């Protein structure tokens, strides 16, 4: 397997050095940027497998860079882990809504961060034990090319939304609680707030709305979510 590349966008040199050392020891290639402008340039040049992005950057913020990454076709599916000292629930929701796939609050354990990177990259590369092509109504999800289409029109999904859609399309017409979705999509060993599910569901619906598929994901009040094309 080719060496995976991680882009670290962090203005504090000591934290960049720590992340570079930890990730290199875990057999990742690491490239670094001290601000959003250089981070964007390296992102386009190297197409990394994952971005570790500090929220509080000088000049352009990490939130703004995350939004730019999601809005560009070339980078829209790049996994993003937001690094920040802002641990309040509203801050986490803002981070996820900006396009982040995971959110790590400083100070953090380097080993725990590596585990989050590995878990996110696993979501980026679905298990090949499933069918390469999943079809449900007008929806097609191709695991081999990592493409998702509705009525043959491609919809760009981030890694978490892709994994969430994969789960929904293979488990339709059944209600799943937020906890069940966290275990199935994020993994049982990843600790995130239940509200994270709501944020990603909202993001997924927003992506599906222009192609008329947002209503396939239904909220079941007091229970959770159900996916159905019927």
Three-state secondary structure string covering the chain:
CCCCEEEEECCCHHHHHHHHHHHHHCCCEEEEECCHHHHHHHHHHHCCCEEEEECCCCCCCHHHHHHHHHHCCCCCCCCEEEEECCCCHHHHHHHHHHCCCEEEECCCCHHHHHHHHHHHHHHHCCCCCCCCEEEECCEEEECCCCEEEECCEECCCCHHHHHHHHHHHHCCCCEECHHHHHHHHHCCCCCCCCHHHHHHHHHHHHHHHHHCCHHHEEEECCCEEEECCC
Model confidence pLDDT, tens digit, residues 90-148: 777 777 788 888 888 888 888 888 988 988 887 666 544 445 889 988 999 998 888 89
**pLDDT at position 36:** 94
**pLDDT at position 128:** 44
Q: What is the percentage of the chain residues whose pLDDT exceeds 70?
A: 92
**pLDDT at position 129:** 42
User: Does pLDDT of 83 surpass 80?
Assistant: yes
Q: What is the percentage of the chain residues whose pLDDT exceeds 90?
A: 48
Model confidence pLDDT, tens digit, residues 5-21: 999 999 999 999 999 99
Domain ranges of the chain: 5-124, 133-227
Model confidence pLDDT, tens digit, residues 192-214: 677 888 888 998 999 999 999 99
Give the count of beta carbons closer than 10 Å to the beta carbon of residue 158: 24
pLDDT (average), residues 29-57: 94
Q: Domain 133-227 is of which CATH architecture?
A: Orthogonal Bundle (1.10)
| More confident: 119 or 35 | 35
CATH C-level class of 5-124: alpha beta
Model confidence pLDDT, tens digit, residues 126-138: 544 445 889 988 9
**pLDDT at position 194:** 78
């Amino acid at each position: 397997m080719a060496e995976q590349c991680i882009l670290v966008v962090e203005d504090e040199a000591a934290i960049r050095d720590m992340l570079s050392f930890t990730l290199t020891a875990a057999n990742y290639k690491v490239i670094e940027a001290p601000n959003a402008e250089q981070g964007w340039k390296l992102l386009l040049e190297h197409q990394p497998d994952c971005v570790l992005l500090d929220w509080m950057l000088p000049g352009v913020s990490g939130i703004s860079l995350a939004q730019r990454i999601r809005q560009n076709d070339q980078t829209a599916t790049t996994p993003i882990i937001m690094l920040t000292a802002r641990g309040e629930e509203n801050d986490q929701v803002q981070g996820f809504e900006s396009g982040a796939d995971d959110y790590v609050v400083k100070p953090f354990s380097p080993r725990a961060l590596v585990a989050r990177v590995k878990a996110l990259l696993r979501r980026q590369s679905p298990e090949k034990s499933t069918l390469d092509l999943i079809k449900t109504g007008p929806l097609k999800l191709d695991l081999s090319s990592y493409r998702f289409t509705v009525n043959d029109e491609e919809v760009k999904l981030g890694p978490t939304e892709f994994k969430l859609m994969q789960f929904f399309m293979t488990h339709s017409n059944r209600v799943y609680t937020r906890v069940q979705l966290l275990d199935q999509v994020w993994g049982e060993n990843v600790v995130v707030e239940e509200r994270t599910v709501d944020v990603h569901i909202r993001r997924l619906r927003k992506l599906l709305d222009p192609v008329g598929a947002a209503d396939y994901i239904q909220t079941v009040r007091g229970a959770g979510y159900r996916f159905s094309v019927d």
